[in-house]
Structure 1
Amino acid sequence: MSEGKRNLFPEVSTARLVLLFALALVLFYNFSTWRALNGLVPMEGPWGMAFFGSFALFLWAAFTLLLTLVSFRPLLKPALTLVALVSAAAAYFMNTYGVVIDTVMVQNIIETNPMEAAALFSARLVGYLLVLGVLPAAIIWLTPVRYSPFLRGLLNKVLVIAGCLLVVAVCVGAFYSTYAPVFRQEEKVTHFINPTNYIYAVSKFTKQRLGIKENLVVQPIGEDALMPRKVNADGKKSLMILVVGETARADHFALNGYARDTNPELSKLDILNFANVSSCGTSTAVSVPCMFSKFPREDYSDKKGKTYQSLLDILQRVGVSVLWLDNNSDCKGTCLRVPNRDIPKDQPGPFCDGENCLDEALLQDLQAYIDKQQDNALIVLHADGSHGPEYYDRYPKSMERFTPVCHTNQLGSCSNEELVNVYDNTILYTDFFLSKVVALLKHNEARFDTTMLYVSDHGESLGENGVYLHAAPYAIAPKAQTHVPMVMWFGNGALDGMGVDRGCLAQQAGTAELSHDNLFHSVLGLYGVHTSLYQPALDIFHGCKRKMTVAQ
C-alpha cells in the first residue's frame, strides 16, 4: 500500500477483528436467543443479571474461538462476510416469525421451491440483509488487517483459543446449576444462538445427506402383499381420493368446535370427522413422507424415508392404479416411483395465474383420468391448503368472508384479527374444495365404491407467544402445529361393500386418539391388502370390519 494512501478505518490485528465481529454477533444478531433465555431464566435481581452477563461473555468467547479457527489470510474476510450475510438472514426469520433453526429447518430451506422462497421476500428482509449483512461486510473489507508471520500468528491463535476456553470454563463453572438445564433443553435456547445454530444444523444435515447418498438403495417393503380378488362385497372396484392438506389447524375447523363456521360445506355432507389426530412432524418435508412410511413417528428419519419404499409402492405392486397430483412444493420423494404430476402454474383455466394455482386446479381433467380406470385406484391430491405466509393467495376473492385480512407476508405487522381472518378464509376454501372432491366422487358411484380421506400434514402458529408459521422442533412444538384435522367421506354402499360398520367407525371418530401413524395401515385395511407389515392395532377400520376372502 502506498505511504500516502489513507484508510477509512484503522489497521487492526486478526485477533482484534475477530473479537469485534464476535461482539457484534452477541449484541446485534441474537435478540431471539436473549428472548428465549429470558423465558427459561428470568433476568430478575442481581443474580439473574449476573447470569445474563456471564452468558453474554460465554457467547463472545465461544464465537471468538470459532472464528479464530478461520482467521488466516485467505479465509478471514470471506468467512466473516459469509457469516454476516447468513446470520443477518437467520436473525430476520427468527425475529420475525419466531422460528428455530435446526436440521429440519435446513431441510425445509434446501427442499423449498422458488415460489415458496419468493413468498418470504420482503422489504424488511432486505433491510436486515443491508444493515446486518452488507454493511458489516463492507466494513470488514475496508478495514486493513495486520497479519503476523505464520508461526507467530499460529501461536497468537493458540493463545486466543486457550483464553476463550478459560472464559467459557469460568462462566459455566460459576453458574453451572443454571447452564446445565438450559443446555439440556437445546430446542429452547441453543437452536436460537446465531450463528452456531445454522452452522451445526447445516453440518449435521450435510452429514445425513451424504450418508443417504452413499447408501441410496431404496429397500422394497411389503413384497408378500396380496389383495383379495374381490375386495368389496358388491363387486365394485374401489376409488379413493386421498387429499394431503397443508398447514391446517384442527382447532380452526368448525367440525371440531371452532366458533366460526369454517366448514359450511362439509357440515352438509355425511362425513366422519376425526377430532384427535396428531401429525408426524411440523413441516411438509417430514410429515408427508412419514405419513406414507411403514415407520411410526418415533422411529422415522429422513434417511429411512428416502431409502425405503412406502405405502404407494405396496398398493401399486398389488394392482392399485396410483396417481399423485401436486399443487404444493413437491411430494418430498414420496411419489417418485408412481405416476405423478405437478400442476403447471400456467395451466389454462380459471384457477391459475402464472404464479399460483388454487387447489381446484387439481380437479381439472381428473374425470377423464377416472373414466379410464378399470381397477382399484388411489388418487393423491397434495393441496396448497393454508400455506403461509401469503395466506391471502390461497383462496379466491369471492371466498374472503372474514375481514379485514392480513395482506402481507410480514405477519407480525398484522393485528391478530387480520391474521386469524385471512387464515380462516383458507380453511373456508379448503372446506369448499373438499366438497368439490366429494361431488366428483359422487359422480362416479355407479362404477366404484368411493372414498375421500383428508388429513393435513401439520398445523400452523398464528402469533401465539410470538411464533408464526410452523417447523418448530417436535419436542417443543405448540399443539397448533401438531393437532391436525382429518375427515372421511364414503359413497353410498362403500362401507358396506368394504365390510365396515359405519356406526362403529363413527364412535371411533369421536373418541380415538389417532395420528399419521394410522394412515399406512388404515389404507391397507381399506383396500384389503394382506401383508406381514400390516398392524391391525393401527388400522382405524379393523375393529369395525368383517372378514374378507384372500386371493388364492
Structure 2
Amino acid sequence: MAEGKRRLFPQISSNRLVLLFSLALVLFYNVATWKALNNLVPMQGAKSVAFFVSFAFFLWAAFTLLLTLVSFRPLLKPALTLVALVSAGAAYFMNTYGVVIDTVMVQNVFETNPGEAAALFSARMVGYLLVLGVLPAAIIWLTPVTYRPFFRGLLGKVLVVVGCVVVIAVSVGSFYSTYAPVFRQEDKLTHFINPTNYIYAVGKYTKQRLGIKENLVVQPIGEDAVMARRVRADGKKSLMIFVVGETARADHFSLNGYARETNPELSKLDIINFPNVSSCGTSTAVSVPCMFSKFPREDYSDKKGKTYQGLLDVLQRVGVSVLWLDNNSDCKGTCLRVPNRDIPKNQPGPFCDGKNCLDEAMLQNLQSYIDGLKDDAIIVLHADGSHGPEYYDRYPKSMERFTPVCRTNQLGSCSTEELVNVYDNTILYTDFFLSRVVELLRHNEGRFDASMVYVSDHGESLGENGVYLHAAPYAIAPKAQTHVPMVMWFGNGALGSLGIDRGCLEGKAKADELSHDNLFHSVLGLYGVRTSLYQPDLDIFHSCRRNMTVAQ
C-alpha cells in the first residue's frame, strides 16, 4: 500500500516543494493582487510587462523565503497544509467580495458570531476550499519528501534564502521608481498579497489581544461627572432611544437627495436630518465601541476601546437608567457594564424565525420596561439594519418594494439592479422601523421629554469598482463605507426643555461636517452631564443652546 502511494507522485526535496508551492501561490491564490496591481500600474507597453514579470519573481522569492523558514521535517507539511487552506479562504473572500485583509478584517473574523459566519457560506466557497485548499493539501501529504542531513539541509536552506534575497533585490532595484509608490500608497497592495496579508494581520491582532489581556483593567472615566438638575415646570424626565444602525450608507437615504423614496415615513415626521456625517470605522467591531468612546477616531484604538469606560458608563454613574438591546452580533464590549440583553432568535412573535429577527423584535415588550422607569433613561437599540450579504433577510416580504432583488450571498452573481434593489429595501425597512420607534416615544410624551437619535455604524459597498460589503482600511475606504446617515427626532417641548433653538440646530445640521466623534459630547450635553471630559466644541447642540435655569 505504501509503495502504491509513493508511485502517485515522484519524490521531491523539501526545497523544491517549497519552490513549487510558492509558485502556485503566485499563480492561483493572488488573482486579487494582480487586479489591484493592474489598477495601480496598468499593463501598457513592454516596460510595464517587464515590471509585472519582475513582480511575479518578487512574490515567488518572498513566499519561498518565508516558507523556507518552516521547511524542516516536522513542520513542512503541516505548515503548507495550513497555508493552503487559509489562503484558499482568503482568495475566496477577496475574489468574491473585493475585500482586503488587514488587522480589522481579522478582528471581524474572530469577533463574528455563528449566524454572521453562516450567512457567508456558499457552494462557491466550498469549491474554493476544495480546489485551492483540500486538493493541494492532499497532494502535499501524498508526495514523498526527501530531507538532507541536518547541517547539509541547513546549508541548502541558507543558500535558498540568499538566492531569494538576491531575486528580491534585483526585482526591486530594476524597477525601484515603480515599486516605491506602489508600496507607499496607503498599503493598497499589501492587503491583497496572499498569504502575507493575513499572516501579518493575524500576528498584529494576536499581539494586540495579548497586550489587552495583560493590561485588561478597565479604566474609569468621568469620575467627576454630575447631573445638572434642570428646573422644569412639567417635572418630566428625559427618555432617549439611541438607535445604532447597521451598514446604512447616507447616499441611499432619500432624505439626503437619493432619487428613490427610501424614507417615506421619516419624511412625514418632524425629524432633523444630518446629511454630512462620517463614521469612526468601516466595521461594527471598530465603529460601535468608538462612537461611545471618549476618544476621537484619530486617537481611538481597539485597546483603548476595551480598557476604558465609555459614554454609557458615565451616564449610568450620574443616575441615568441604561438599557442595551441587541439584534446584531453583539455590542463589542460597549454594553458589558450596563444592563443589556440580546434578542433571542426563537422568541415568539411575528418578527423572528429561529435564525434571524427583524428589528421590530426589539420593540416587543419595551413599553413595559418604560412603564417602570423613574429616572432619566437611555435605551440603545443595536439594529440588524442592512447587514449583508443576505440583505433579503433584513426586511419583511411586505416591504419588498424594489424588485427584482438579489437572493444570494454571492453578490457578484447578481446584477447591479438586483443588488441595489435588495439593499434599498433594507433602507426602506429601517425607515419604517424608526417610525415605529418614534411612535413608541410619542406614546410616552406625557411622562418624558422624548427623543430619538439614529446613526449608522458604517456604510456599505455595493459592487462599485468590484468591491462589496465593508471593512476596507479606513485610509483607502470608499466614501460609501464611511458616509453614514444620522437623523434625530425630539418630542413636543423636548428641545425647549433643553434650551436648544431648533432653527439654529437645523441650520447646523445642514452646514456642518460631523462624525461619530461628536456623539459622546452631544449626548452628555443633552443629559446635562457636567464633567471635565465634556468638550463643548464637539457637542452638536452647544452653539444652539440658550441660557436656561440650572440648579447647582
Q: Same fold (TM over 0.5)?
A: yes
Q: What does residue 439 of structure 1 align with?
A: 439
Q: Distance in 2 between matches of 1:526 and 1:182?
A: 47
Match of 1:319 in 2: 319
2:273 is equivalent to residue 273 of structure 1: yes
Q: Secondary structure at the match of 1:187?
A: coil
Alignment of 1:197-212 (within 5 A): 197-212=197-212
Question: Does 2:407 match 1:407?
Answer: yes
Q: Which contiguous aligned blocks of 4+ residues in structure 1 show a shift greater than 2 angstroms?
A: 1-6, 229-235, 546-552
* Percent of pairs with identical residues: 85
CA contact (8 A) 2:58 2:168 kept: yes
Residues 274 and 69 of structure 1, relative CA distance in 2, 3 Å threshold? same
- Structure 1 pair 232/414, CA: closer, same or farther in 2 (3 Å)? farther
- Using the TM superposition, give the Cα deviation of residue 356 of structure 1 relative to its aligned residue in structure 2, in angstroms: 0.1
Q: For 1:80 and 1:305, how far apart are their aligned partners in 2?
A: 36
Secondary structure of the residue aligned to 2:8 is: coil
- Shift in Å, 1:319: 0.2
For residues 341-360 of structure 1, what are the structure 2 equivalents within 5 Å?
341-360=341-360
CA–CA separation in structure 1 for the residues paired with 2:206 and 2:186: 20
- Is the contact made by 2:6 and 2:142 (CA closer than 8 Å) also made in structure 1? no
User: How much does 1:231 deviate?
Assistant: 6.2
- Alignment of 1:160 onto 2:160: yes
- Structure 1 position 84 matched with structure 2 position 88: no
Q: CA–CA distance in 2 between the matches of 1:305 and 1:6?
A: 54
Q: Which amino acid aligns with 1:169?
A: A
Q: Residues 5 and 440 of structure 1: is their aligned pair in 2 closer, same or farther, counting only changes over 3 Å?
A: closer
Q: Deviations over 1:66-85 (max 9, x none)?
A: 00000011110000000000
The answer to whether the 8 A contact 1:81-1:140 is kept is yes
Q: Whole-Å Cα distance in 2 between the matches of residues 381 and 4 of structure 1?
A: 62
Aligned to 2:108: 108
Number of residues of Structure 1 aligned to a counterpart in Structure 2: 552
Q: Distance in 2 between matches of 1:183 and 1:462?
A: 27
- What is residue 143 of structure 1 aligned with on the other side? 143
**Structure-to-structure mapping, 1:345-494, within 5 angstroms:** 345-494=345-494
Q: Deviations over 1:321-375 (max 9, x none)?
A: 0000000000000000000000000011000000000000000000000000000
Following the alignment from structure 1 to structure 2, what is the Cα–Cα distance between the partners of residues 128 and 505? 52
Aligned 8 A contact 1:232 1:498 in 2: no
Q: Equivalents in 2 of 1:183, 1:366: separation in Å? A: 52
**Does 1:248 pair with 2:230?**
no
Are 1:299 and 2:314 an aligned pair? Answer: no
Distance 1:184 1:4, change over 3 A: closer
Q: 1:7: Cα distance to partner?
A: 1.8
Whether contact under 8 Å (1:234, 1:497) holds in the other structure is no
CA deviation after TM superposition for structure 1 residue 510, in Å: 1.1
Q: Distance between the aligned counterparts of 1:232 and 1:414, measured in 2? A: 56
Superposed counterparts of 1:36-47, under 5 Å: 36-47=36-47
Please give the per-residue CA displacement for 1:137-160, whole angstroms capped at 9, x wherever unaligned: 011011000011111111111110
| Alpha carbons of structure 1 residues 320 and 167: separation in structure 2 relative to 1, 3 Å | same
Alpha-carbon displacement from aligned partner over 1:369-409 (angstroms, at most 9, x marks no partner) = 00000000000000000000000000000000000000000
1:93 paired to 2:93: yes
- In the alignment, residue 325 of structure 1 is paired with which amino acid? L
- CA distance in 2 between partners of 1:312 and 1:440 (Å): 22
Q: How many angstroms apart in 1 are the aligned matches of 2:15 and 2:321? A: 65
Please state how far the C-alpha of 1:230 moved relative to its aligned partner. Answer: 2.7
Matches of 1:28 and 1:397 in 2, distance apart?
Answer: 41
Q: Residues 145-201 of structure 1: CA distance to partner in whole angstroms, max 9, x if unpaired?
A: 001111111111111001000100110111111111111125310100000000000
- Taking the aligned partners of 1:480 and 1:231, their CA distance within structure 2 comes to 43
8 Å contact from structure 1 (residues 346, 352) kept in 2: yes
Matched, 1:334 2:334: yes
Unaligned runs of 5+ in 2: none
Contact 2:243 2:382 in 1 (8 A): yes
Question: 2:31 is matched with which residue?
Answer: 31
Cα distance in structure 2, aligned partners of 1:65 and 1:394: 46
Q: Provide closer, same or farther for how the CA distance between residues 148 and 316 of structure 1 changes in structure 2, counting only shifts above 3 A.
A: same
Q: Deviations over 1:108-164 (max 9, x none)?
A: 000000000000000000000000000100110110000111111111111100100
Q: Deviations over 1:89-108 (max 9, x none)?
A: 00000000000000000000
384-393 vs 150-159, which moves further: 150-159
Q: CA deviation at 1:4?
A: 8.2
CA contact (8 A) 1:228 1:549 kept: no
* Cα shift readout 1:214-234 (whole Å, capped 9, x = no counterpart): 001111111111112236564
User: Following the alignment from structure 2 to structure 1, what is the Cα–Cα distance between the partners of residues 481 and 197?
Assistant: 22
Gaps of 5+ in 1: none
Give the distance between the partners of 2:385 and 2:347, measured in 1 at CA.
18
Name the aligned partner's letter for residue 518 of structure 1: N
Q: Which amino acid aligns with 2:318?
A: V
Cα deviation 1:247-288 (Å, max 9, x = unaligned): 001000000000000000000000000000000000000000
Q: Which residue of 2 aligns with 1:194?
A: 194
Higher mean C-alpha deviation, range 185-194 or range 540-549: 540-549
SS of 1:355's equivalent in the other structure is coil
Kindly report the root-mean-square deviation, in angstroms, between the aligned alpha carbons of the 2 structures. Answer: 1.1
Structure 1 position 178 matched with structure 2 position 168? no
Verify the 8 A CA contact 2:186 2:475 in the aligned structure 1: no
SS at match of 1:357: coil
Q: 1:2 to 1:401 in 2, by over 3 A?
A: closer
CA distance in 2, matches of 1:305, 1:235: 36
Q: Alpha carbons of 1:396 and 1:306: their partners in 2 closer, same or farther (altered >3 Å)? A: same
